Amino acid sequence: MPETAKKTTNKYARLLTNTAVFTVGKLLSKLLTFFMIGLYTAFMTEAEFGTAELITGIANLLIPLACVGISEGIFRSAAAKDGDKEAFFTNGLLIYGVGSVVFLCLIPLMTLIPRFADSVWLIAAYVVVANLHTVVSQYLCAIGRTKLFAGQGILNTALVIGFNILFLPVLDFGVTGYVCSTILADLATTVFLILVTRLWRAVKPRSISRHTVASMLKFCLPLVPTTIFWWITGVSDRFMVEAMCSAELNGLYSVAYKIPNLLIYAISIFDSAWKLSVSSEEDPEACSVFYTRVCRIYTTLAFLGGGALILTCRLFAELLFAGDFVQAWVYIPVLTFATVFCALCTFLSSVYFASKRTLWSMITAVVGAALNVTLNFLLIPRYDAMGASIATFASYFAVCVLRLITTRRLIPFKQEWLRGGVNTLLLGALTAVVTLSESHFPHPALAWGIAGGIFALMLAFNLRAVLELLKDGVRMMKRR
């Protein structure tokens, strides 16, 4: 076997192993969280749920700002084959500490925003604790403690569920209980990780240096505006729906996002393993072959996964949503279509991550955010929350095309535009039929029959690729 092919085979097997480990931990965690939707919709009103989502949404916007995205810098630096891992962790903690102090000094300014005046310190606690949890867990993942990383995800989810059960149905804390559940779970999980790994031994104050801090900031600073603009694309529509329509409609729109989040959960599992693999890759030729193979796997599963969610979205809504929340199902198909392209954008962003060209990630995110806000202003007044869904899809689609074009200059890998184009047309047709099934078809059963036929075509079109990928996966694992 040629040396390059052998290296690619080993890396592919390692990627599968890491993905399997993360799947055990993250998938279980995400599924448990997913089935909590019934609890949220049963014990919170549409307006309360919408408010809770806005608070966590604004907190997630502030998370990278508070520590300048240093968790990504720690992960990328510590996962590389060379360098002092403990030095990267120590310098990263310093940046986190300074950033958190500055953030806490500035957070009282949020009281000037009436919408969040009563939630300022709740948001502050959410941000500071979430950042610490991410810094610690990402470092442990980067140094190879992948099983512990997966296990702490299960622990964190179990704690969130426990606190939610205590705070919502038992104590009736409403929005505050919803947010505090995550804060307390993150804090407890972080303490657990520090104690189990005796992480304080990895802190080496003498390793703090201006050069290390500068190199880490050079990598992660462009990711901060990237995250902000990505947040604008994915979350700002909820603020605009509430402002232009109502809190109740935003509650419905927010809960509709929970079904496409299943695809996001799967992405996050793979993304953790994928970044760990590409961060240690140094051979450009092997990297190109590696990307080509994995890209085909990723895109095929993303389209088929999105199609399956769209086809079953009404069933999910009936089973998981309570009361009036069920009507939110109509937004799920378009949001899922958008999420598929969000998944593709996430994969392509790993090219910028691996090549340390994060500026390109920011540029493409700016384009997506600008397009999203513009379309929201144009479409929400006319089509309500459906306009926001369409704007989200258009933004992710545009960013995906831009990243397909720009990433070829950094890592030349086969992108299969024809396969992607056919899958896009089929998934778009499936989205349209399901969305319009009850409003534009004489009999809904006819629409669902057509939708099933379209999904069957998608399966047939991708069947050979899926079989080849499964065969390759089994062969790689045997060789390993």
- At residue 395's C-alpha, the angle toward residues 218 and 240, to 5°, is 100
Q: How far apart are CA 178 and CA 255, in angstroms?
A: 14
Using 70 as the pLDDT threshold, list the residues of the chain that sit under it.
1-35, 80-81, 268-290, 354-356, 358, 412-413, 469-480
End-to-end CA distance of the chain, in Å?
14
pLDDT at 307: 92
Task: Indicate whether this model's pTM tops 0.85.
Answer: no
pLDDT at 231: 76
pLDDT at 111: 83
pLDDT at 126: 93
Q: How far apart are CA 299 and CA 165, in angstroms?
A: 37
pLDDT at 457: 93
Max CA distance (Å), the chain: 74
Q: How far apart are CA 378 and CA 401, in angstroms?
A: 22
Calculate Rg over the CA atoms of the chain: 22
Helix (H) or strand (E) segment spanning residue 231: helix 223-244
Q: Which amino acid is at 69?
A: G
Where helices occur in 44-173 by DSSP H, the ranges are 46-66, 70-79, 85-106, 120-142, 146-165
pLDDT at 1: 44
As given in the structure block, the two tokens for residue 31 are 């599924």
Q: How far apart are CA 53 and CA 406, in angstroms?
A: 34
Name the residue with tokens 């300022």: 120
pLDDT at 50: 78
Q: How far apart are CA 378 and CA 360, in angstroms?
A: 28
CA 322 to chain centre: 25
pLDDT at 4: 47
